[in-house]
Structure 1
Amino acid sequence: MSRWCCPDLATELVERGTVPAISASTVRRILAADTIKPWQYQSWIFIRDPDFAVKATPVLDLYARTWQGIALGDDEYVISSDEKTSSQARCRCHPTLAPGAARRMRVNHEYDRGGALAYLAAYDVHRARVFSHCAAKTGIVPFMTLAEQVMAQEPYASAKRVFWIVDNGSSHRGQASIDRLAKRFPNAVMVHTPIHASWLNQVEIYFSIVQRKVVTPNDFTSLDQIEDRLAAFEQRYNATAQPFRWKFTPADLEDLMARIERHEQKEQNPQQPPGCDHQPAAHALAA
């Protein structure tokens, strides 16, 4: 088994002859007191982009209001944008029961599918303002509609530059998307995060808030109801939001790449004596 419960462990200890008898509650107390807790785990994501540091540095610099070593002016803005796909309308087969004394809210497990929509959002990193719209699906047209929604209004329309931070989704991937956005809005500069690194995109934080506060539990009678709820939340959010306290800095990136380099160095040369000079593949990333 990959995970053991306390009764399983108690039985196993007796069958192995480790102890003549032991209760599940005793096993539980022993585990609770121990430093190592193997039943707990934390998921993580490994860097896959060979140019991670090169691509991540401009994004982190923009969060710190610099670009190519020069501080951004008051007429320059940073937008973090992405799509939240497949927001489903799940109409529960029995009405949701409100919470009561000593009873949680009860949401029926069975539901009828009412379709799904894509929620596209653009987040002004330093002004903490969200712009969004819903579409039947993601794509170039819905994304450019979002860009039009933002860039057609002030202060972005007359800004010196508006930086758009995006991931590598098909709606805004590669040089073609950079050229498309710049052709439509000459003051727009698209900046891609590294591959498989959407966690560097601040709008994902906003999407996590939406997931927890708006669409969970999923109990909507129609897509119109979802759209109305998202629009109402956006208005509420913009009235009180403060910029996220982004903590992953260029210095943290440098430290991360150095740790990866040391890890690769250890894997490639497990018997290498301390102080031995070695140049692993990750050295190029750190540089």
Structure 2
Amino acid sequence: MRIAAQVEVSEAQRKQLETWATSRTIAVRLAERAKMILLAAQGKMDKEIGAELGVWRGTVARWRARFIANGLAGIEQDEARPGRKPKISARKVKAIVALTTQQRPDNATHWSTRSMAAKAGVSAASVRRIWQAHGLKPHRVVSFKVSNDKHFTEKLEDIVGLYLNPPEHALVFSCDEKCQIQALDRTQPGLPLKPGRCQTMTHDYKRHGVTTLFAAMNTLDGSVIGQCMTKHRHQEWLRFLRQIDRSTPKDRELHLIADNYATHKHPNVQAWLAIHPRFHMHFTPTSASWLNMVERFFRDLSENQLRRSAFHSVPELVSTIEQYMERHNRDPKPFIWTAKASDILAKVTRARAKLNKMQSV
């Protein structure tokens, strides 16, 4: 009769095996293997251990041998299994990926799972699995715009420097206008949210006018100075600058970040700034509105308050915006800028290189 190899365990190994054997949080298979080794250390044979634990004795013999060869690591990891041979060859997968990324279907701008399945001679489910494995989403497109500002680097470093290392005894405000906010009213009343049904609203609407929100967000604490106006000219911008002047301590220098809109650089605005030296303007590069932190506040305003609402008049819309800003300022939270200027510049440089390469083809 064949005698099973003797299993010897150290005190440390015994403690670990006992912990695994009684644990309720580890995999059941590992707990079962630990019990096998503990029983084997007591001198029991594979057949006895199999009968006691309700497993095949060959299984006990395999884990006994692995423990003797590799210790605890031998039973902690499962054996590699070959798995089922793939029905679609690697060459076929490579061809589908190349077809997806380098060609277009004859009658569409992008591939669908069905059109690719018909072209490649496989099932739509197989195409879906291949796309998921390679991170391909032909149905999605992401918009972008690379700034061509000649002074992009200088402006980028200036603005990011204000975010990450603001001047002492000064306030930094991110300023912009959210233009043409429409007072939209739905043509029919929608149904409220209920279990099993989402909120409903009509796709068409009535226009009752527009307003423009001028906003300046304090980058230190996230509070917002805002004012709604009917037009978007340099006169309204000057009125808003005066509001910022009245709303901030007179002994503080003010650094305002704004975009390159002509309203912000009008001669009358320049003249007003000349007699108010505590105001310092910093302009974002062209096509780089994402550098202006107040855009995050505008996004939250749209998502949380405006997009699903219905307004019967412009005054109602303005009142809603003012109430939102008032509640926001009761407990403001700043947006934390984390991207370094060098990282942004490196990314923009790579994007420009790719664009130049594509244009030269």
TM-score of Structure 1 vs Structure 2, range by shorter chain: 0.7 to 0.9
Whether 1:5 and 2:112 are equivalent positions in the alignment is yes
Cα separation, partners in 2 of 1:196 and 1:177, compared to 1, 3 Å? farther
3-state SS of 1:208 partner? helix
Q: Which residue number corresponds to residue 24 of structure 1? A: 124
Q: Which residue number corresponds to residue 271 of structure 2? A: 180
Match of 1:119 among 196, 213, 223: 213
Whether 1:196 and 2:196 are equivalent positions in the alignment is no
Indicate if the aligned counterparts of 1:53 and 1:257 stay in contact, CA closer than 8 A.
no
Indicate if the aligned counterparts of 1:89 and 1:218 stay in contact, CA closer than 8 A.
no
Matched pairs, number: 254
Indicate if the aligned counterparts of 2:186 and 2:201 stay in contact, CA closer than 8 A.
yes
Q: Which residue number corresponds to residue 47 of structure 1? A: 147
- Letter of the aligned partner of 2:251 in structure 1? S
Q: Which runs of 5+ in 1 are unaligned?
A: 67-71, 271-287
- Name whichever structure is richer in helix by fraction: 2
- Letter of the aligned partner of 1:129 in structure 2? S
Whether 1:164 and 2:256 are equivalent positions in the alignment is yes
Q: What aligned pairs does 1:38-117 form with structure 2 within 5 A after superposition?
A: 38-66=138-166, 72-73=167-168, 75-117=169-211
Q: TM-score, normalised by structure 2?
A: 0.64
Indicate if the aligned counterparts of 2:112 and 2:138 stay in contact, CA closer than 8 A.
no
Indicate if the aligned counterparts of 1:59 and 1:193 stay in contact, CA closer than 8 A.
yes
- Letter of the aligned partner of 1:209 in structure 2? D
Relative contact order, CA 8 A, sep 6+: which one is greater? 1
Q: Which residue number corresponds to residue 134 of structure 1? A: 228
- Name whichever structure is richer in strand by fraction: 1
CA separation in 1, counterparts of 2:138 and 2:184?
36
Deviations along 1:206-251, one digit per CA (max 9) or x if unpaired, are: 1111111111124211111111111111111112222211122233
Indicate if the aligned counterparts of 1:114 and 1:221 stay in contact, CA closer than 8 A.
yes
Q: Which residue number corresponds to residue 334 of structure 2? A: 243
Q: Which runs of 5+ in 2 are unaligned?
A: 1-107
Indicate if the aligned counterparts of 1:178 and 1:189 stay in contact, CA closer than 8 A.
no
Deviations along 1:243-276, one digit per CA (max 9) or x if unpaired, are: 2111222332443465467658978999xxxxxx
- Rg comparison, structure with higher value: 2
Indicate if the aligned counterparts of 1:167 and 1:173 stay in contact, CA closer than 8 A.
no
- Letter of the aligned partner of 1:235 in structure 2? E
Q: Which residue number corresponds to residue 241 of structure 2? A: 147
Q: TM-score, normalised by structure 1?
A: 0.79
Indicate if the aligned counterparts of 2:146 and 2:351 stay in contact, CA closer than 8 A.
no
CA separation in 1, counterparts of 2:138 and 2:352?
27
Cα separation, partners in 2 of 1:217 and 1:184, compared to 1, 3 Å? farther
Cα separation, partners in 2 of 1:54 and 1:7, compared to 1, 3 Å? same
Please, what is the CA RMSD of the aligned residues?
Answer: 2.6
Indicate if the aligned counterparts of 2:155 and 2:285 stay in contact, CA closer than 8 A.
yes
Cα separation, partners in 2 of 1:250 and 1:137, compared to 1, 3 Å? same
